[in-house]
Amino acid sequence: MTGNHSSNRHRRDETHDETMERINERAGRNMAQAVLTGTILVVLVVACVVFVREIFVFLVLAFMILATWELRVDFATAGIRIPVVVLWLCEAMAILPTYFYSHHVEALSIGFLCSVVLVTLCASFQFRPRAKVSSAVLEKLSDAGLDTPSDILGGQVVHDRMTHVAVSLFSLMYLGLLPGFLVLPLTMGHPVAHAFMICFIPALGDIGGLFFGAAFGRHKLSPRISPKKSWEGMFGSILLGIVGALCIGLGTYPLDEFARVWSILVMMGVMVGLTGLFGDLSASMIKRDLGIKDMGHLLKGHGGIIDRADSILMSAPFITGLLAVAGL
């Protein structure tokens, strides 16, 4: 009897492992790690937003600093250099005054415009990557099975000056301007509700796309950019985005106000389902052009910071705009 029980348990374990492998393969990630990491991030965001919103602002800045380092290594795999320290400074110039200065929109606008000038000047200079960057680049290239660009090891320059400037300005917009729209809604009438919308509706859209795509995905959305994306997954993103927006509104707005704005929340769910997907596809296109699988490895089960935040960053300006137009 003991032998039979042990054999049955062994078969169940094997079946469970095979099931998890199939799920991980269809999802394109380690789902157990992804769920654990996602849970920790949700708890961290909720705690910051509910108790001390200023910490949330600094948390956004910290994540963008880490994401900039990831992006520096990613672009360096193609021989493109960005002034990472200057970008860190500019991200702080854009994000912190947006929240702490009384004229929030003006602070974001002026901080970003000044950053454009500073990044353009600094990216125009030729500089050699430090040993730590070169080591990270070589490791990523080795994992991806790619060749090393000649300028990584101090040889000839692969790209002209304008390429470095253009990519640096893109990095500033991606990790300096867009995060400002994560902070801006905190200065409006319902900061807790807005923070939850900004962070969780795109994340729920990602979850809807992931599970609907894995369960029902038959029609590829963009095989060249992201082979795992499907039309069914897109509809799942929209559906869960709507559900998430309504749940957040119901849990944070007074009932009479929720009755007035529920249609706007439905519109927001549809919009975020699409903008989040566009953000995901944009990041996938960058990774495909660079020949890498993930932007980084800081978040277990998700890849890098940008792999997790791509849909959130792309959706933030649209959510902020809708909230402003609707007077919320």
- How far apart are the C-alpha atoms of 311 and 78, rounded to whole Å? 24
> Positive or negative, the Cα torsion across 317, 319, 320, 326?
positive
Give Cα 226 distance to the centre of its chain.
16
Confidence band for 327, pLDDT divided at 50, 70 and 90: confident
Q: Is the pLDDT of residue 328 over 90?
A: no
What does each C-alpha distance from 6 to 14, 15, 18, 270, 315 come to in angstroms? Answer: 12, 14, 18, 50, 51
Residue 222 in 3-state DSSP?
strand
Rounded to the nearest integer, the mean pLDDT of the chain is 80
DSSP annotation of 253? S
Contact 248, 201 (CB under 8 A): yes
For residue 95, what pLDDT is reported? 93
16's tokens: 């469970």
- In this structure, the number of other CB atoms found within 10 A of the CB of residue 219 comes to 10
> Which residue, 78, 43, 213, is CA-closest to 159?
78
Percent of the chain, pLDDT > 70?
76
For residue 177, what pLDDT is reported? 93
Q: Model confidence over 148-186: pLDDT tens digits?
A: 554 444 444 467 788 889 999 999 999 999 999 999 999
For residue 157, what pLDDT is reported? 46
- How far apart are the C-alpha atoms of 320 and 27, rounded to whole Å? 30
For residue 110, what pLDDT is reported? 94
- How far apart are the C-alpha atoms of 92 and 8, rounded to whole Å? 57
> Which residue, 24, 69, 77, is CA-closest to 287?
77
Average pLDDT over residues 232-250: 91
Q: Is the pLDDT of residue 132 over 60?
A: no
pTM of the model: 0.81
- How far apart are the C-alpha atoms of 138 and 76, rounded to whole Å? 10
- How far apart are the C-alpha atoms of 286 and 75, rounded to whole Å? 9
Confidence band for 102, pLDDT divided at 50, 70 and 90: confident
Q: Model confidence over 43-67: pLDDT tens digits?
A: 888 888 888 888 999 999 999 999 9
Q: Model confidence over 12-29: pLDDT tens digits?
A: 555 545 554 655 555 555
Confidence band for 323, pLDDT divided at 50, 70 and 90: very high
Give Cα 137 distance to the centre of its chain.
21
- How far apart are the C-alpha atoms of 37 and 313, rounded to whole Å? 19
292's tokens: 């890498």
CB contact burial 260-278 (16+ within 10 A = b; e otherwise) = ebeebbbebbbbbbbbbbe
